[in-house]
């Protein structure tokens, strides 16, 4: 397939090698306007704004993924396979199940468990373990240290359900899984299959253990500056 793709109207070369990927299109606009110099809108199909600009002289793009594995599956696939993108860094929010993680802390998702079916397409004779790129994990941890952000590195759950009738979060917590979001496993599968790099960094927006700390949608849009600085430094 050539560009534009069914979901991205950008031209060849419009995206930088590194794309930061928040879930929310408003957040991608916020990142572009707050952090990128000379940011140009390169995609707006379905309101999924994509921008390319410069951060400390390095060309970098930002585009939203939408919510859930099917959505990030589409955008990351098209960016990796048709736009020559080499690394995608998801900058998201997550719920946390870990007693040492509070609202606004950061999870670096080294691995992504899932209750979804995304990897079934590869017809593997077993269960695939979706992993982040180790170099990106290491650099993200170093940036968190440098910025003095409280963070943990480990497993996250990419759930297909936000409203989970089985309320299964604490079962995953028993296996040491740190928190829950809805996209990383599909992103890591696409990166693995394409031979490219991916990482998900999440700010804890809500804690299953400390619900009184939960952040509002407005705070989520603007209060995650530390995470964005970590991600931008990786670019």
d(CA 9, CA 72): 16
Q: Give 128's contacts (C-beta < 8 A, 6+ positions apart).
A: 119, 122, 189, 192
43 binds ligand HPA (CB under 6 A): no
In whole angstroms, the minimum distance from the beta carbon of 32 to ligand HPA comes to 22
Choosing from 135, 162, 171, 222, the residue that interacts with ligand HPA (CB under 6 A) is 162
Shorter beta-carbon distance to ligand HPA: residue 51 or 188: 188
The helix/strand/coil state of 30 is helix
Our answer to whether residue 206 is catalytic in this structure is yes
Q: Give 24's contacts (C-beta < 8 A, 6+ positions apart).
A: 64, 220, 221
Choosing from 205, 228, 231, 234, the residue that interacts with ligand HPA (CB under 6 A) is 205
Angle between helices 69-82 and 184-194 (to 10 degrees): 20
The helix/strand/coil state of 111 is strand
Shorter beta-carbon distance to ligand HPA: residue 87 or 93: 93
d(CA 51, CA 70): 22
Q: Give 31's contacts (C-beta < 8 A, 6+ positions apart).
A: 20, 22, 51, 62, 91, 228
53 binds ligand HPA (CB under 6 A): no
Shorter beta-carbon distance to ligand HPA: residue 177 or 180: 180
Is residue 90 within 8 A of residue 200, CB to CB? The reply is: yes
In whole angstroms, the minimum distance from the beta carbon of 36 to ligand HPA comes to 25
116 binds ligand HPA (CB under 6 A): no
103 binds ligand HPA (CB under 6 A): no
Q: 71 to 100, contacts with ligand HPA by CB under 6 A?
A: 93-95
206 binds ligand HPA (CB under 6 A): yes
Site residues (vs ligand HPA, CB under 6 A): 93-95, 159, 162, 180-182, 205-206
Active site residues: 206
């Amino acid at each position: 397939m050539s560009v534009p793709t069914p979901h991205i109207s950008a031209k060849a070369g419009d995206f930088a090698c590194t794309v930061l990927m928040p879930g929310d299109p408003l957040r991608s606009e916020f990142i572009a306007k707050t952090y990128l110099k000379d940011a140009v809108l390169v995609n707006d199909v379905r309101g999924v704004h994509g921008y390319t600009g410069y951060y400390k002289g390095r060309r970098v793009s930002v585009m939203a993924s939408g919510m859930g594995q099917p959505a990030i599956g589409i955008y990351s696939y098209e960016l990796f396979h048709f736009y020559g993108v080499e690394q995608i860094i998801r900058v998201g929010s997550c719920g946390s199940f870990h007693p040492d993680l509070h609202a606004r802390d950061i999870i670096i998702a080294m691995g992504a468990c899932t209750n979804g079916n995304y990897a079934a397409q590869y017809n593997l004779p077993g269960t695939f373990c979706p992993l982040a790129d180790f170099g990106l994990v290491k650099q993200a941890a170093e940036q968190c240290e440098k910025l003095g952000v409280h963070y943990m590195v480990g497993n996250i759950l990419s759930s297909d359900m936000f409203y989970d009738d089985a309320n299964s979060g604490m079962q995953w917590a028993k296996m040491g899984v740190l928190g829950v979001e809805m996209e990383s496993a599909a992103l890591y599968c696409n990166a693995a299959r394409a031979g490219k790099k991916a990482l998900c960094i999440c700010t804890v927006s809500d804690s299953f253990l400390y619900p009184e700390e939960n952040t509002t949608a407005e705070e989520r849009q603007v209060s995650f500056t530390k995470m964005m600085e970590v991600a931008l430094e990786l670019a």
